[in-house]
Homo-oligomer: A and B are copies of this chain.
């Protein structure tokens, strides 16, 4: 009775980072700032780790919304970067859509600020355009829980899959044997509890 299982495939996925701008981030209040920063950087690190085509876009970055978070800009110096002149839904910007299509990927991993607009609008448009959409809920932030859960409902009803960065990394990686150290390092850098496990393990087994 349910939807078929659409599984993320690292050869078919791309990452869209929408409007993680220094001003807009002050609007995010449904996730604590330390945690949200970590989630966004974890998503960026996994995009880099799995060599997923990544597209950056901003809205009015010369105004109060502020510039893209510098860490993202630095991590993806070669990525298509679309500073939208006004379109609120990134999918209404032809350059953005072209950049997405140029990746040749059919699975879109989307995160952004704020969830119900910068994520939900392009997510729903992308589904309409035939893409499979995976929303990174914990790297997307908004005003409060009412807004978050309204947006999640609208996106899920529209066919988007709700995931978090950790699940996405695991589904892309498939098998630890593909690269144990790389994945462990990604986790260790972004999950303090996991880092502690590794440090205890190393100390107790004489590793490292």
Contacts and interface: CB of A to CB of B under 8 A. Distances in A.
Give the dominant DSSP class at A's interface. Answer: helix
Interface in A184-205: 184, 191-201, 203-205
Given A3-B1, A35-B34, A194-B27, A203 B22 contact: yes
A56 B170 CA distance: 20
A175 interface: yes
Interface residues on A, range: 35 or more
A200 B67 contact: yes
A149 B151 CA distance: 13
Contacts of A203: 22, 61-62, 66-67
B164 A150 contact: yes
A60 B175 CA distance: 11
A117 interface: yes
A34 B26 contact: no
Interface of A: 1-5, 7, 22-23, 25-27, 29, 31-38, 59-67, 69-70, 85-89, 92, 114, 116-117, 120-121, 124-125, 127-128, 137-138, 143-144, 146-147, 149-154, 156-164, 166-167, 170-171, 173-178, 180, 184, 191-201, 203-205
